[in-house]
Chains A and B, each alone.
With several copies, the nearest count.
Chain A
Amino acid sequence: MIEEKKVKKVFVNGPISPVFVGESIAKHSTKQDIGAHSIFLGQVRNDIIDGNAVLAIDYSAYNEMAEEKFHEIREDAFQKYSLTCMHIYHSLGRVEAGEIGLFVFTSSIHREDAMEACAYIVERIKEQAPVWGREVFDDGRHVWKQNNFKETQ
């Protein structure tokens, strides 16, 4: 039960708004030992597959397992890198082309930690988080996306 309480909420319904990203950055101005922020944003591409354009990605997840996996990734990143702050947000549901579905935000005293941790977290999510994206086409059909990833850790 105590374990459960430590799990930070990662999933948000629908796209992550640029305004939310700006607000998240602003909240860190009081943490004056931070020297560097690194941010990764995953944006939905309107890829053309077999002549049809992707309109949106509809994300679904194995929520209980994903929340535990995000927690594990978070703990591992704090262990590996000297970080002041870390935030991970992932969309569920429909995210239109041009909208943002992943927001990883790391902060540290010196820039190397924030930048390396951010890349590490993104790779771990792509490789290990039980999340699926259904690419919806303009002709109504869909395909299930499949990630490419480098092996991490």
Chain B
Amino acid sequence: MAIKLLTFGQITEIIGQSESTVNAMDSDALKAQLIMQFPGLKDLQFAIAVNKYVINENTGLKDGDTVALLPPFSGG
């Protein structure tokens, strides 16, 4: 299950890279695993997008999916 992980803004600063490959069954598992690896994420608010759509509940992941971690937006 190779998932492409994209990060932005402050999250990239914590993780140290903006693009990587990870393994996870679903979005909750991925989030838990990332927080374990990067405790700095715990205090951050962020949304998760799977294949460019923001999800609001745990979502199953399959090979080739792109998951993005989105800190609060500040465009405009």
Contacts and interface: CB of A to CB of B under 8 A. Distances in A.
Interface of A: 42, 59-62, 64-66, 68, 90, 101-102, 122, 125-134, 144-147
A132 B9 contact: yes
Interface residues of B, number: 14
A145 B76 CA distance: 11
Contacts of B73: 126-132, 147
12 contacts: A60-B8, A62-B8, A62-B49, A64-B52, A130-B68, A130-B73, A132-B71, A133-B74, A133-B75, A144-B10, A144-B71, A147-B74
Given A130-B8, A132-B8, A132-B9, A145 B74 contact: yes
Contacts of A132: 8-9, 71, 73-75
Contacts of B15: none
Given A60-B9, A62-B6, A144-B10, A129 B49 contact: no
Contacts, number: 65
B62 to A, nearest CB: 19
A144 B9 contact: yes
A112 to B, nearest CB: 13
The B contact surface, by secondary structure, is loop
Contacts of A126: 73, 75-76
B70 interface: yes
Contact of A61 (B10, B72, B75): B75
Nearest to B13: A144
Contacts of A66: 75
A145 B71 CA distance: 10
Q: Looking at A131, A132, A134, which has the most chain B CB atoms within 10 Å of its CB?
A: A132
Q: Looking at B8, B9, B10, B68, which has the most chain A CB atoms within 10 Å of its CB?
A: B9
Nearest to A59: B75
